[in-house]
Amino acid sequence: MDIETRLQTVESLLQPWTATATHPEANRCDVVIDSQHLHAAVQALKEVGWGYLSAISGLDCAAPAPAEGQPAVEGHLEVLYHFCDGPAVLTIRVSLPYADAILPSVCDLLPYATLYERELMELLGVRIEGTPNSDRLVLPDEWPDGVYPLRKAFTGFAAPATEGKE
């Protein structure tokens, strides 16, 4: 099956849950779906055997400063589920408000997604409901709760005082 046919097949498969679909490159299809449909969309991919989950990535889409006289626009988080089927790449994009950054786990369908889900929780602050393992993955145990180093609002910690050092 050629790339174009693979992408047409997956776009048609996900159509019931897709808000928008784009083709940023000849071998790629990006679909935007609502978080409530994520599990059903991944289940549909698994049932037909379309590709494999190659990565889950997250973006902090902070709002730009408003132009003078314009109202402020709220930023959001975006989680991208990347699936590959040969050279064809599907990205499922899910947008989440900062205040309600919650997604269903897909680990019951794709057990190896647990590492990606833990990374999203720990580094970006996305709450994954139903994930089998929410232990810390990369940050130290003493890392403060509610501080997410991949969010644009994170600017680091103040340097400790070094009294008496020159």
- The pLDDT tens digits for 89-110 are 999 999 999 999 999 999 999 9
**What per-residue confidence (pLDDT) applies to 63?**
80
Q: Kindly report the pTM of this predicted structure.
A: 0.89
- The sign of the torsion formed by the CA atoms of 130, 135, 137, 139 equals positive
Percent of the chain with pLDDT over 90: 81
Pairing of strands 18-22, 28-33: antiparallel
For the segment 84-92, the average pLDDT, to the nearest whole number, is 97
pLDDT for the residue numbered 64: 77
| CB within 8 Å of 40: residues ≥ 6 apart | 17
- Residue range 33-53, pLDDT digits in tens: 999 999 999 999 999 999 999
pLDDT surpasses 90 at 8: yes
Band (pLDDT 50/70/90 cuts) for residue 121 is: very high
What's the mean per-residue pLDDT of the chain? Answer: 93
Res. 166: pLDDT tops 60: no
Domains of the chain: 3-64+74-129 (3.30.460.80)
- What mean pLDDT is predicted for residues 137-156? 92
Does residue 140 register a pLDDT over 80? Answer: yes
Predicted local confidence at residue 67, as pLDDT: 77
The H or E element that residue 7 is part of is helix 3-14
Q: How far apart are CA 162 and CA 104, in angstroms?
A: 45
